[in-house]
A = this chain, B = another copy of it.
């Protein structure tokens, strides 16, 4: 899925990779699961991109590193990564669940073009404050929120046709 980045970053350093792996292994140990080559490959593949990937997209990328990795393993590993905070689901409402890695990343939100699917990341600390404030007001223990803006990007406004979302 197309993306335009606001805070472009280099790919993760070897040190970053090791640190993220450690978080993952700690989590696996904590819940009584085992360390495997596949889980390693999937985590590495996931960290290498800042894209918002569907399970199938990550599966295809991981398969380039290990041709016999299975879709099911990618699916299950994404759940594990979400459990330990290395991944989070991001719903663009395009019919598939997407994930992005959360290792050393600032919290951000997305604006999505309903025509071409382009997503733009933006920062808006006010939204986090609203979560806290409204949770308090209605006596919720607020743990997370979703905020997305939908519209038509500059390029698509110039084109004639329309599709998607």
Contacts and interface: CB of A to CB of B under 8 A. Distances in A.
Interface string A122-134: 1010110011001
Contact of A150 (B114, B142, B149): B142
Residue among A135, A138, A143 with most chain B CB within 10 A: A138
Contacts of A150: 142-146
Stoichiometry, as copies per complex, reads 2
B143 A145 contact: no
A147 B149 CA distance: 9
A93 interface: yes
Contacts of A11: none
B154 A140 contact: yes
A14 interface: no
Contact of A130 (B124, B139, B157): B124
A148 B151 contact: no
Nearest to A131: B149
A68 B113 CA distance: 40
A122 B138 contact: yes
B111 A134 contact: yes
A28 interface: no
A130 B140 contact: no
B126 A130 contact: yes
A153 interface: yes
Nearest to A112: B140
A116 B153 CA distance: 38
Given A93-B146, A111-B140, A111-B142, 7 more contacts: A91-B91, A113-B140, A126-B130, A135-B149, A140-B149, A143-B150, A147-B147
